[in-house]
């Protein structure tokens, strides 16, 4: 700690990281590499295990991710981190199969050339939507578009107005449901689709033109990547490399300024703090040190979900696709299925066929309260419906994720700007987490790295 107003050595430094998810673990690792072996780094987490919403379970005695199971391949953060930690051989890529969309009681190919399901042309939607909707999409460039530079609205309002409700519910909702456990009605354009907003701000004359401008250039590179033995390999390596003290099953209850640093209950006086916590927890801890930031963070809502992993006989007649997404309004309980053994070559080598069923969206937490038996039955019955196959699980695992994902709602960009502005002058305090600049694992890694950089610079 500081004595006489001056810090003695790095050995006197004590840094607290609240939150042991991927963001917090990356922050701890980066701080260790910057500050050296003598700094006292403490990671505090209210859960009994590290990892947050990343969790690798076991099925048939082998690892299987029960939270996120992939990351966006075009971002460099995760492959770079795996390389640093000597884990490059763990990097895997999908087999390249496309998903299906279940809509109108039938399976359809997921439309190509879309931006989070928003089409760049009408033809890509053929078969998924009706003839009137196809005609509307085709004619959209001819309709005048009104867009304001300071505008933000939910994705549904934009897409339904320009392309029709079927496009929003059958093409956009299934993809947003997978990323945010939300829907086009709960997600804002600027936060979730910044490239699209930028094209509209630049004067795109239609939504069709804006989508075409925002689409990434064609590439043969894999869209996603994964980790062969699950995210726990990365989490364990980060924890070991961070060489921190880990205090689990212990929530942080109060944060206050103090002479020479911060007071964080239950740890006491520390030199610096990283809050790598969900938005509601961050809001509570910032209440007395940054009230404006706390108010903004409190406005960020969370969605809950459930994953049911099924192990099926190897010869189960599953379609040759990576997954099946479910459109809004279908009489099914599951919102999506990942056909894991079809999607990932390394999982195809196992003795059984693996499938993950997902339940729950923003505003519907009911699946959290269902019994394991009911969830497994719902997953089995709905999978039989969308595949036409006989589904007879050999093994099943249920993983609940209450409040697992932040909703990037209308105004989210402004909320984050307010949070960061209101905490910018607080030396020795940094924020990280999935609510800031992206819910994906690469964005979380980046947020942890940025938080560590800020703390290291504030400590000199």
Q: Do the domain assignments include residue 118? A: yes
Q: Do the domain assignments include residue 251? A: yes
Q: Do the domain assignments include residue 221? A: no
CATH (domain of 125): 1.10.3110.10
Same domain, 253 and 313: no
H runs (alpha helix) in 228-287: 231-242, 279-286
Could you tell me the strand order of the sheet in which 71-72 lies?
71-72, 224-227, 91-92
Give the range of the structural domain holding residue 264, as residue numbers without chain letter. Answer: 14-92+226-301+408-459
Same domain, 148 and 181: yes
Structure confidence by residue, pLDDT tens digits, 412-422: 999 999 999 99
Mean of the pLDDT values across residues 266-287? 98
Same domain, 285 and 315: no
H runs (alpha helix) in 86-230: 131-139, 155-163, 165-167, 173-180, 189-192, 194-201, 207-214
The domain boundary, picked from 161, 185, 214, lies at 214
Mean of the pLDDT values across residues 27-36? 97
Same domain, 297 and 412: yes
Q: Check pLDDT > 60 for residue 396.
A: yes
Q: Check pLDDT > 50 for residue 6.
A: no
Mean of the pLDDT values across residues 404-427? 97
Q: Do the domain assignments include residue 105? A: no
Per the structure, how many domains does the chain have? 3
HSE of 457, CA atoms in CB hemisphere, 13 A: 11
Q: Check pLDDT > 70 for residue 181.
A: yes
Same domain, 452 and 381: no
Select the more confidently predicted residue: 222 or 261: 261
CATH (domain of 246): 3.50.50.60
Q: Check pLDDT > 90 for residue 460.
A: no
Structure confidence by residue, pLDDT tens digits, 147-163: 999 889 999 999 999 99
Q: Token digits for 430?
A: 């940094």
pTM equals: 0.95
Same domain, 68 and 149: no
Same domain, 314 and 401: yes
Q: Do the domain assignments include residue 100? A: no
Which of the four pLDDT bands, split at 50, 70 and 90, describes residue 11? Answer: low
pLDDT at 2: 36
Same domain, 282 and 322: no
Q: Are 206 and 199 in contact (CB under 8 A)?
A: no
Same domain, 293 and 160: no
pLDDT at 260: 86
Select the more confidently predicted residue: 239 or 8: 239
Which residues, 6 or more positions from 453, have their beta carbon under 8 angstroms from its beta carbon? 30, 34
Average pLDDT of the residues of the chain: 95
Q: Token digits for 302?
A: 């969370």
HSE of 433, CA atoms in CB hemisphere, 13 A: 28
Q: Do the domain assignments include residue 103? A: no
Same domain, 278 and 351: no
The domain boundary, picked from 380, 406, 432, lies at 406
Mean of the pLDDT values across residues 20-42? 97
Q: Do the domain assignments include residue 38? A: yes
pLDDT at 4: 34
Same domain, 340 and 258: no
The domain boundary, picked from 366, 384, 406, lies at 406
Structure confidence by residue, pLDDT tens digits, 66-116: 999 999 988 999 999 999 999 999 999 999 999 999 999 999 999 999 999
Which of the four pLDDT bands, split at 50, 70 and 90, describes residue 5? Answer: very low
CATH (domain of 397): 3.90.660.20
Q: Do the domain assignments include residue 9? A: no
Same domain, 379 and 246: no
């Amino acid at each position: 700690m500081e004595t006489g107003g001056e810090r003695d050595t790095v050995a006197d430094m004590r840094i607290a990281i609240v939150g042991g998810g991927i963001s917090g673990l990356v922050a701890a690792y980066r701080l260790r590499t910057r500050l050296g072996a003598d700094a006292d780094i403490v990671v505090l987490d209210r859960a009994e295990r590290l990892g947050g919403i990343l969790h690798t379970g076991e099925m048939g005695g082998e690892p299987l991710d029960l939270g996120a199971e992939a990351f966006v391949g075009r971002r460099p953060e995760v492959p770079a981190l795996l390389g640093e930690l000597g884990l490059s051989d763990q990097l895997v890529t999908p087999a390249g199969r496309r998903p299906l969309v279940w809509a109108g009681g039938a399976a359809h190919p997921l439309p190509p050339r879309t931006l989070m399901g928003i089409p760049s042309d009408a033809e890509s939607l053929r078969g998924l939507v009706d003839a009137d909707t196809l005609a509307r999409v085709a004619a959209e460039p001819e309709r005048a578009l009104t867009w304001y530079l300071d505008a933000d609205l939910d994705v549904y309002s934009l897409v339904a107005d320009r392309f029709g409700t079927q496009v929003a519910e059958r093409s956009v909702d299934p993809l947003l449901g997978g990323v945010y456990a939300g829907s086009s009605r709960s997600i804002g354009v600027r936060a979730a689709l910044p490239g699209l907003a930028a094209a509209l701000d630049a004067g795109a004359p239609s939504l069709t033109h804006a989508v075409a401008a925002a689409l990434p250039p064609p590439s043969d590179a894999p869209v996603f990547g994964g980790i062969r033995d699950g995210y726990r390999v990365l989490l364990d390596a980060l924890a070991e490399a961070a060489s921190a003290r880990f205090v689990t099953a212990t929530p942080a209850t109060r944060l206050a300024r103090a002479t020479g640093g911060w007071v964080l209950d239950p740890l006491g006086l520390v030199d610096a703090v990283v809050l790598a916590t969900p938005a509601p927890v961050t809001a509570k801890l910032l209440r007395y040190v940054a009230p404006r930031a706390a108010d903004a963070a409190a406005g960020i809502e969370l969605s809950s979900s459930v994953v049911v992993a099924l192990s099926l006989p190897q010869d189960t007649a599953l379609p040759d696709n990576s997954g099946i997404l479910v459109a809004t309004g279908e009489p099914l309980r599951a919102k999506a299925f990942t056909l894991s053994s079809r999607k990932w070559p390394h999982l195809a080598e196992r003795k059984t066929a693996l499938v993950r069923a997902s339940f729950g969206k923003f505003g519907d937490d009911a699946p959290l309260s269902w019994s394991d038996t009911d969830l497994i039955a719902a997953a089995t019955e709905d999978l039989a419906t969308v595949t036409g196959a006989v589904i007879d699980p050999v093994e099943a695992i249920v993983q609940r994720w209450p409040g697992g994902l932040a909703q990037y709602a209308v105004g989210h960009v402004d909320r984050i700007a307010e949070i960061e502005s209101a905490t910018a002058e607080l030396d020795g305090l940094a924020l990280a987490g999935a609510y800031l600049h992206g819910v994906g694992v690469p964005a979380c890694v980046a947020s942890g790295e940025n938080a560590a950089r800020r703390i290291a610079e504030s400590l000199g």
